[in-house]
């Protein structure tokens, strides 16, 4: 599991929270799983391995909670269909 680094940054009289995660190992693992054919079963496909920080960013940008992201397939499908996140896909099929 990759860790998320959290920093509090002070600028003038404001404070900001900066969160980062190195997503390269997650992308490399997804690529290897794809190459190895580790796509899940015929009943349940393993579509992707998306880093936590990107899910958190999506939730913040869409003003939803993590729980809302988990239970609403529309949010998950939207992320899986995003070309910018293609390097985290394992099973390349239609979502």
pLDDT above 90 coverage of the chain, percent: 83
Looking at the DSSP bridge assignments, the partners of residue 45 are: 40
Confidence of residue 1 (pLDDT cuts 50, 70, 90): low
How many residues would you count in the chain? 95
CA-atom Rg of the chain in angstroms: 16
Contact between residue 19 and residue 60 where contact means Cβ atoms under 8 Å apart: no
Give tens-digit pLDDT for 12-45: 999 999 999 999 999 999 999 999 999 988 888 8
């Amino acid at each position: 599991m990759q860790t998320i680094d959290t920093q509090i940054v002070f600028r003038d009289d404001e404070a900001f929270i900066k969160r980062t995660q190195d997503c390269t190992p997650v992308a490399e693992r997804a690529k290897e799983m794809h190459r190895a054919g580790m796509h899940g079963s015929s009943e349940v496909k393993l579509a992707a391995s998306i880093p936590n920080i990107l899910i958190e960013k999506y939730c913040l940008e869409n003003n939803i909670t993590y729980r809302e992201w988990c239970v609403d397939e529309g949010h998950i499908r939207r992320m899986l269909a995003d070309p910018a996140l293609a390097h985290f896909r394992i099973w390349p099929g239609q979502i």
